[in-house]
Amino acid sequence: MKPKNFKLKFFPNGKTNGLSSAGRKLTNGFLSLIIAGTMCAPLSAQNDRTVYVCGNDGQGRPVYWKDGIEVPLVDQVPNGPWGNNVANSIFVDGDDIYTAGNEIYTTDLTGQYQARYWKNGVMTTLSLGAIFEGVIGGTSSFYYASISSDDLSRANSIFVSNGNVYVAGKQGYILHYQDTYYPYEWHYAFCGDCATLWTNGVPQILAISNTLPQTYSTECKSVFVSGNDVYVAGYGNQGAGVYWKNGVETALSTDGVSGAIVRNIFVSGNDVYVCGYYGTTYGYWKNGVMNALPGAGGVTSIYVYGNDVYVTGSVKQNDIPAGGYWKNGQWTSLSITSGYDFYTAYTNSVFVIDNDVYIAGSVSGGLGGLATYWKNGERITLSNNPNSTAKSIFVTPGSNTGINNVTQENINIYPNPVKEVLYIMNNEQLTINNLVIIDLSGKIIMSLPSQSSQINVAHLASGIYFLKIQTDKGIVTKKFIKE
């Protein structure tokens, strides 16, 4: 008999037997909780959406899951610290699946890892090379320096727009320097990291320490493209939280030097949102102004849908950080208590579509975490391997949204991509009641007369949009690319 308030869930990599009276399941020696709630329907039946999640499989491999089916990004488990073998970010553009992360590539345990991205499972190692050559300030004198990359680089975030692949991360650097007091003596030292944005594999250094030795790290944590503008959040030359717009830095801390910690960036219209914290204040900056989140003990990602702001993170619950998310400052916990046991949710990424909230992370209640995502609070387990985790989530809309009898073939649009005029082909002569164009954040960009058969989009910034068509038979959503 199933315990009260608990129902069985399907696990992609395991069995559903082994439940105890407390509603637990033993899987590969790992004690995990079967979380209360109804079993999620197959995703193909849920408005024809596809859910993509990337992370680590708990066995040392970067992976992604497509509708719960695991796809390894490497053929075998690499050597070295497993935590560095992870896909940190995922982005879907049309039929192409992009992931970015790190992979150990040495055969020993020295932990040498490199930034990579994968397109449909095909790996690209992000190029390194010369970073700087010239005179930089030292603590007591000036140095003539030749700085080159070492073998420690990370890819934290990926975004694809207009066929261009943007990856935010960092690369370590090695300094070969010559003290001006002793011009014939060359020295060698590992100095630290420099914030790097790769565009189609070509690195651009956004920040690097201008003092020696470096006492702080610089790094790009997140990238977002809006139209022709590229936004990156990370740590600048002084080690403080900043964001860059097309390479121009904006400080987020009050003194521009220290304190601000950033995690993720999102752009909606003309508004720039960056989540993070400053001192003991956790929340997000909107156009440089901090909005504190009540009770927050950590923040990890941000998503803006229409007028709603979603932030994942944690608060203290039973003296343990409990994961969940805020919607417009209102907290929802995804951690649960069962009897004397407390099962902690760790939330890493959020994606919102048609007001459905998808969150990726893990649940820990025993020996380690289990890779997990939630839809509107309903948990779906991705892996039964302890120490697996889900780092990033991306959801693509189906052709149809809502309850309707209209199919994708009933209405078509062309050309796609489009430069100036987008045409609508109403094959079945359906009655169209409403037409709107929506950007990736869910913001309505244009509302159009229902009788429109062609739309002038020449004024739109380059990027990805959705045309939402409400008919007498239901709703159709068409994705198009503005060149």
Token duo for residue 113: 């890892």
Q: Rounded CA gap, 300 and 236, in Å?
A: 19
In this structure, are residues 301 and 349 in contact, taking their beta carbons and an 8 Å threshold? yes
CA dihedral 421, 422, 427, 429 (to 10 degrees): -80
CA separation (Å) from 20 to 8, 36, 312, 339?
A: 12, 14, 32, 13
For residue 101, what pLDDT band results from cuts at 50, 70 and 90? very high
Among the residue ranges 18-22, 48-52, 165-169, the one predicted with the least confidence is: 18-22
Q: Strands 62-66, 50-56: parallel, antiparallel or unpaired by DSSP? A: antiparallel
Q: How confident is the model at residue 240 (pLDDT cuts 50, 70, 90)?
A: confident
Q: Which two tokens stand for residue 350?
A: 């959020």
Closest CA to 350 of 380, 385, 321, 326: 326
Q: Is the pLDDT of residue 352 over 50?
A: yes
Cβ atoms of 245 and 267 within 8 Å: the answer is: no
Q: How confident is the model at residue 96 (pLDDT cuts 50, 70, 90)?
A: very high
Beta bridge partners of 389: 56
pLDDT, one tens digit per residue, over 43-86 is 333 457 899 999 999 888 899 999 999 999 976 555 444 445 88
3-state secondary structure of 201: coil
Give me the residue label for tokens 């046991």.
341
Task: Please tell me whether residue 82 adopts helix, strand or coil conformation.
Answer: helix
Mean pLDDT over the full length of the chain: 76
CATH 2.130.10 residue window(s) in the chain: 24-396
More confident residue, 239 or 13: 239
- Give the bridge partners for 435, in sequence order: 448, 469
C-alpha distances in angstroms, 149 versus 118, 173, 186? 22, 4, 18
Confidence of residue 37 (pLDDT cuts 50, 70, 90): very low
pLDDT tier at 112, thresholds 50, 70, 90: low
* Fold (topology level) of 24-396: Methylamine Dehydrogenase; Chain H (2.130.10)
- According to CATH, where is 2.60.40.3080 located in the chain? 404-482
pLDDT category of residue 38 using cuts at 50, 70 and 90? very low
- CATH class for the domain made up of 404-482: mainly beta
Contact by Cβ (8 Å): 80, 102: no
pLDDT (average), residues 26-31: 30
Give the per-residue pLDDT at 280.
Answer: 85
The answer to whether residues 455 and 422 touch, using CB atoms and an 8 Å cutoff, is yes
pLDDT score recorded for residue 43: 36
Which pLDDT score is estimated for 230? 95
Q: Measure the CA–CA gap between 27 and 390, rounded to whole angstroms.
A: 18
Over 99-142, what HEC string results?
Answer: EEEEEECCCCCCCCEEEEEEECCEEEECCCCEEEEEEEECCCCE
For 247-403, where are the alpha helices, taking DSSP H only?
none
Closest CA to 422 of 467, 461, 463: 467
**290 versus 210: which is more confidently predicted?**
290
Using one digit for the tens of pLDDT, what is the confidence trace for 126-150?
Answer: 876 555 555 555 444 444 444 455 4
Q: Among positive and negative, which fits the CA dihedral 47, 64, 33, 294?
A: negative
Burial code (b: 16+ CB inside 10 Å, e: under 16) for 325-334 equals bbbeeebeeb
Cβ atoms of 123 and 116 closer than 8 Å: yes
